[in-house]
Structure 1
Amino acid sequence: MEKRWVATIHLDTLEVEHDLSFKFKCVESCGKCCYELEIPVRDEDIARIEDLGYNAWEFVDYEKMFYRGDKFLSYALKKRPFDGGCVFLDPETMRCRIYGKRPLACRLYPFVFVKQGRVMEVYVKMDSFCPGLDHPEGEPITREFILREYGDVVEEYRRKVVKSQE
């Protein structure tokens, strides 16, 4: 996986340095990531989706597992057998049926957040299938972009930094 640095967030001040040359725009109704990616579903994701009335057996692929080293992290989101798309992707509209409650991995894609002490680096996965990377109508990965789209993720990391300083 090729990844590219696009921003650094200073967790104590929320100052952001970013790559002025990179822009991103999620292309509505594209759905390519829903076909191309294997998505990990955390316990929190499963509980949130079950709250919508789904049973975990309908959307969790218990045969696909994610590990970091030898530590089990999660199972994967199921794919439809007839076309390989995510079970929540509407094949006619190419829109997610659970968009507001989708797994964190779906929400973050194509970005990867890496905490290093008091800063969090933001990288973008340079997947060739994603038409939103360096999109001419895209938005730079500024402080405003990050806080609007991922403010809760940044805040969670900030709390961990504060706790480690106590």
Structure 2
Amino acid sequence: MIIKTITLPAKEPISCSNCQACCCRLEVMLITDTGVPDYFVAEDKWGSMTMKRLDDGWCAALDRDTMMCTIYQNRPLICREFEMGEYECISEREANL
């Protein structure tokens, strides 16, 4: 019996240079005060405070030219906890293929 071995290409580690900012399309609830400027805050239909999103679903604080957060130092808690390259990040990237 002949057994063929298939080598899958290694996935490039996620870094700042290849990040697709998939997390910037998720709804972000503001549950702590981190200093998010008021013009980036919206109220959802239940009265909770969220990050404002543009008509196409992207976070209003994302610089679309650099794909970087314009309020990084004052980003919401959930954005601080959402780590690049971790399970949730990879799941969002795969869901957006």
Same fold (TM over 0.5): yes
The alignment status of 1:98 with 2:71, answered yes or no, reads yes
CA-based RMSD of the aligned residues comes to 2.9
Task: Report the 3-state secondary structure (helix = DSSP H, G, I; strand = E; otherwise coil) of the residue aligned with 1:44.
Answer: coil
1:32 maps to which residue? 22
The two structures have a TM-score, normalised by structure 2, of: 0.63
Identify the structure with the greater helix proportion.
1
Q: What is the letter of the counterpart of residue 88 of structure 1?
A: A
Q: Post-superposition, which runs of at least 4 consecutive aligned residues in structure 1 deviate over 4 A?
A: none
Q: How does 1:10-29 map to 2 (within 5 A)?
A: 27-28=15-16, 29=19
Distance 1:27 1:130, change over 3 A: farther
TM-score when normalising by structure 1: 0.39
- Aligned partner of 2:40 among 52, 55, 59: 59
% of aligned pairs identical? 32
Unaligned runs of 5+ in 1: 1-24, 66-71, 111-123, 132-166
Per-residue displacement from partner, 1:82-111 (whole Å, max 9, x unpaired)?
A: x2110100011100001121101001015x
- Higher strand fraction: Structure 1 or Structure 2? 1
User: 1:78, 1:86 within 8 Å by CA — same for their partners in 2?
Assistant: yes
1:128 aligns with 2:91: yes
- Tell me the distance in 2 between the aligned counterparts of 1:99 and 1:44: 14
The alignment covers a number of residue pairs equal to: 79
